[in-house]
Structure 1
Amino acid sequence: MYIIGLTGSIATGKTTVSKQFHEKYHVPVIDADILARKVVEPGTSCLRQIRKEFGQEVILPDGNLNRPELGKIIFETPSKRKLLNSIVHPAVRKAMLKDLFYYYITGHGMVILDVPLLFEAKMHSICWKTICVASSIETQKRRLLKRNPEYSSEDADRRIQSQTPIQEKEYLADYVIDNNSDFDSLSRNIHATFVAIRPSFVWTLACLLLPIMQVLLQAYHYSRQIKKAKNQKKIHLTQ
């Protein structure tokens, strides 16, 4: 199965792109944000651990997670954000692997992993290709304030700055979808990217009919991704 990693930053339009891949090109999408919500539902081990580490104030009276309160804590304190990620990310990765297995055994030749922290969480290592949806900081901020009118200008800046700079994600990605213009332009960019990344019919059929080939190819690709990541780190250190 051909796994495509899709990432971006806040308000770059990643959700719009993943929706287009699913609705227009019929590619299954595994959305990390949706899974992240599921793994912290009432009664889950993740929610119990969050309550233990962050206190009862991040839990609503009905037992659900108080997202605004938790968001305030992690955006103001990077160490707390790192702690939250260490709790949630392993559970999300496990859920993703279950979904990937489901799509493989049901005969899908290609799937999109929609992960905001694709590179930070090292999820790109299982992807054959990666895509970054990019916008300028000015465009991000304008969209974010329109989407969340309750945010002040400083709130928007803080949320954008709390994430990995989009330029770094563009550098690491195999393809970049520019989303600084209108929807028609974005649709053309998505189509061009889909045409470039879709696997051949023969490749897809071989992987579906010969599971051992899929395992060997995935293992080979994973080793290449690890080597590539080490080389990129060396390049960054020498710059």
Structure 2
Amino acid sequence: MKPPGIRVIGLTGGVATGKSSVARFFEERGVPVIDADRLAREAVEPGSPCLARLAALFGTGVLHGDGSLDRKRLARMVFADGEKRRQLEAVLHPEIRRLAEERIARAAAAGERIVIYMAPLLIEAGATDRVDEIWVVTVRPGIQVERLMARDGIGRDEAGRIIASQMPLAEKERHGRIVIDNSGTPEETRRLLAALWEQETGGTP
């Protein structure tokens, strides 16, 4: 349950669209950013109930020798297996939700009026009910491929497969009250974001 008096903006987008760069812009203006990916890492820290459940589901082979989660190995296991992906989500998503609600409540108690909840799978995970509105970061398709290749050091075919496995950007855009085109230079995006923030808040959190 979202506490009253705080505006929660859900920030989402596809892989390599620049969600983190957009989030940093808001952080620099003093807006709290709750990162769902960080919460997912917190949820599976060594000794956590979530990690124990994942090891029981997928085998201890998904653990490093020190007991931490081998994320790359787990990702390979679930990438092309819809049932395993659903099992993973059934373990992770409720805990991420609990942690997100905890952070939002903490921000509200501290007197924050706006918080950004950055979640790549906000729409796919059915988590839109925990935000007041959705802002989607997007780029032109060719730019997305090039940025993913450069970021991860992978070939065009692999980048294409990763992008094809996700919800199309055009579909995500339909969910957004605000669509942020991050196809330009960092300077161009910052100017766009500054104008957007002024429009939405008068320039203050």
1:159 is aligned to 2:162: yes
Q: 1:71 aligns with which of 69, 75, 81?
A: 75
Q: Which residue of 2 aligns with 1:146?
A: 150
> Which ranges of structure 1 fall in alignment gaps of 5 or more residues?
205-239
Matches within 5 A, 1:23-42: 23=28, 25-42=29-46
1:10 aligns with 15
- Looking at CA atoms only, which structure, 1 or 2, has the larger radius of gyration? 1
Q: Where has structure 1 moved over 4 Å in runs of 4 or more?
A: none
TM-score by length of 1: 0.79
Q: 2:132 aligns with which of 128, 134, 140?
A: 128
Note the aligned Cα RMSD (angstroms): 1.7
- Alignment partner of 1:115 is 2:127: no
Higher RCO by CA contacts (8 Å cutoff, separation 6 or greater): 2
Q: Secondary structure at the match of 2:10?
A: strand
User: What is the total number of aligned residue pairs between the two structures?
Assistant: 200
Residues in 1 aligned to 2:189 and 2:202: alpha-carbon distance in whole angstroms: 22
Letter in 2 for 1:178: D
Q: CA deviation at 1:87?
A: 0.9
Q: Which has the higher helix share?
A: 1
Q: Which residue of 1 aligns with 2:187?
A: 184
The change in CA–CA distance for 1:20 and 1:154 in structure 2 (over 3 A counts) is same
Name the structure 1 match of 2:3.
Answer: none
AA at the equivalent of 2:180: I
Counterpart CA distance in 1 for 2:54 and 2:147 is 30
Post-superposition offset of 1:178:
0.2
Q: Give the TM-score normalised by structure 2.
A: 0.92
In 2, Cα distance between the equivalents of 1:162 and 1:114? 20
Which residue type is aligned with residue 159 of structure 1?
A: I
- Cα deviation code 1:158-209 (max 9, x no counterpart): 21111111111100110000011101111122122222333899xx9xxxxx
Report the Cα distance in structure 1 between the residues aligned to 2:61 and 2:141, rounded to whole angstroms: 33
CA contact (8 A) 1:75 1:159 kept: no
Return the alpha-carbon distance in structure 2 between the equivalents of residues 123 and 195 of structure 1: 27
Aligned to 2:89: 85
* % same residue: 35
Read off the aligned partner of 1:50 and give its amino acid letter: L
Aligned residue for 1:235? none
Q: Which runs of 5+ in 2 are unaligned?
A: 1-5
